Structure 1
Amino acid sequence: MKYVASFFDWLSSGIAEGERMRREAYLAQASDHCDLEYRLQALERDAELARGLW
Structure 2
Amino acid sequence: MFLLTRLFLFLTQTAEERQKANNDAYLAEAADLYDLEFRMRKLDREAAVAHPAWQAAR
Tell me the TM-score normalized by structure 1: 0.70
Secondary structure of the equivalent of 1:30? Answer: coil
- Once superposed, what is the RMSD of the aligned Cα atoms? 2.0
Higher relative contact order (CA 8 A, sep 6+): 1
Instruction: Return the offset for 1:15.
Output: 0.7
Structure 1 residue aligned with 2:47: 47
Structure 2 residue aligned with 1:38: 38
Report the count of equivalent residues.
42
Q: What stretches of structure 2 of length at least 5 have no aligned partner?
A: 1-10
Tell me the TM-score normalized by structure 2: 0.66
Trace 1:1-54 onto structure 2 (pairs within 5 A).
Answer: 14-52=14-52
Instruction: Return the offset for 1:36.
Output: 0.1
Structure ranking higher in helix proportion? 1
Taking every aligned residue pair, what percent have the same amino acid on both sides? Answer: 40
Instruction: Return the offset for 1:42.
Output: 0.1
Q: What stretches of structure 1 of length at least 5 have no aligned partner?
A: 1-10
